Structure 1
């Protein structure tokens, strides 16, 4: 089978031929049909001290199951987060990280909706929004952000502000229901908001906290790091809450499942609309990463492996 790999920090990415992996205990072997490209994985290539497997969101058909698997069988269609090599014709997915794809939904729908939607919904839940409150979503045009904008509105936000680096993304976000779009370098971010869903981190944390109204909450779910000054929180009795999706998936599977069902329900009803910026062949993974690195995407970036060879 084909797999994307790199040999040193910064790449380049290249295809290699390797054997199809064998399932371990609790694992599913999935023939991938769609692979979501995320900023954390892109950052691993550019920042990790040593090469790491390119994992992430995958969707496809189960072709084999390992010992102890009880929820899935060969032929099922699933999506989930792969911690090993996910940029490949076949990938291993642990049963605890897998969720079924409903009939009528495509693999592209699944990688555009489920993992990004779970992060967006989880971050929103962590903010404990009250109907009528106002929200600011940073990285609002990203795979997660554009869903967070919609979910904030669906959860009763009276005003949703979208934060972006490029003003050219405004039309896209206003079309998804944002009331206003601000750029990070703007002198005025507008009226204070009750909560911020932050996927950027770093130097943006300071102005994001300043954008909060007294008693406001910032939910940090970025891989970008950053430092918060305690005084900035004390002045307005503000708070910062960290959110990590893997902790929910592993420690609270019932919550994970409830959120998943909610997302598919909203998708089926047409209330939540995941957007795919573009699709790329597996051999063009580097081009897909360039889109993410340049912050040029409007919605999800997806890899599409061409039909894989049979296991035989």
Structure 2
């Protein structure tokens, strides 16, 4: 079968198509024929070594797929090596989905949708009427977070995005305004996956008892030191968030996913789909993602 693999760390150039033997499912696992694999920013961290050690090489990245079970069911699944024509998945990590649901929409709700849900509900603990700033508001997580913040009762939703097209998209998704720093008004919650200078600007823009939730470092900036005395002066907090350990908590997946699928079915949540690339072009997908040429959910199709 065709798969995408890397045997040393680096940028998108280390991703290469290879022929591998089909995986063999173990106890409690299913073999899935992949219809589409999701591309996430976390995949670029796997590729450059931010998430993996050398003992994991060679490695096939990818954490989510839409695929078919041997008995013909169409499913959404969390996996470990999704950039391939066939994958194995734990039966407990498989969710049957409708035939008419676009693969990109389903995949958008898995990693990005669960991330956005938990950022607002679990990490920020958003309260009705609070203001929310979403960085990278046209991206996979950001585009859903803008909509969910409104759905969860935010008083104002403010978007940060790069470029006029992405700013327009954020407004179309329900943001009240596009912002640049310094803010004209303090924010109760800021969701940041960029880091670096933007993180620092956001921290100074928090209202009393505000929360800055950091869940990524797309700027690839160095370590940002947070002085406790500074937090005391601001009367604010910094909350770290990583989806992977969050998913191990009871009902961290099924409940939120059920709510997300219901919101889509009711027309109250619209996943934004970006590019669709042939599986063999995974390198190009990573290049476009890192260069910020994309919006919404990217997928690879075998």
TM-score, reference length from structure 1: 0.86
Q: Note if 1:35 corresponds to 2:32.
A: no
Partner of 1:81: 78
Tell me the secondary structure at the aligned position of residue 295 of structure 2. Answer: coil
Tell me the secondary structure at the aligned position of residue 171 of structure 1. Answer: helix
Shift of 1:204: 2.8
Deviations 1:138-157 (CA, angstroms, capped at 9, x unpaired): 12111111000000011111
More off after superposition, 143-152 vs 109-118: 109-118
Shift of 1:75: 2.5
Partner of 2:109: 113
Cα separation, 1, equivalents of 2:234 and 2:138: 29
Closer/same/farther in 2, CA of residues 235 and 294 from structure 1, 3 Å limit: same
Contact 2:190-2:213 within 8 A present in 1 as well: yes
Contact 1:40-1:223 within 8 A present in 2 as well: no
Where has structure 1 moved over 4 Å in runs of 4 or more? none
Selected match of 1:197 from 191, 202, 220: 191
Closer/same/farther in 2, CA of residues 209 and 187 from structure 1, 3 Å limit: closer
Partner of 2:205: 211
Shift of 1:103: 4.6
Closer/same/farther in 2, CA of residues 99 and 241 from structure 1, 3 Å limit: farther
Partner of 1:129: 126
Deviations 1:47-92 (CA, angstroms, capped at 9, x unpaired): 45644331222111122xxxxxxxxxx3322223322x21000112
Aligned residues: 290
Shift of 1:227: 3.3
Cα separation, 2, equivalents of 1:222 and 1:213: 22
Q: Specify every segment of 5 or more residues in structure 2 that has no aligned partner in the other structure, as ranges.
A: none
Cα separation, 2, equivalents of 1:286 and 1:53: 13
Cα separation, 1, equivalents of 2:100 and 2:215: 31
Cα separation, 2, equivalents of 1:262 and 1:164: 27
Partner of 2:234: 236
Q: CA RMSD in A?
A: 1.9
Q: Note if 1:57 corresponds to 2:64.
A: yes
Partner of 1:152: 149
Cα separation, 2, equivalents of 1:25 and 1:248: 25
Selected match of 1:251 from 246, 249, 252: 249
Describe how 1:17-28 pairs up with structure 2 within 5 A: 17-28=19-30
More off after superposition, 134-143 vs 200-209: 200-209
Selected match of 1:291 from 280, 288, 293: 288
TM-score, reference length from structure 2: 0.89
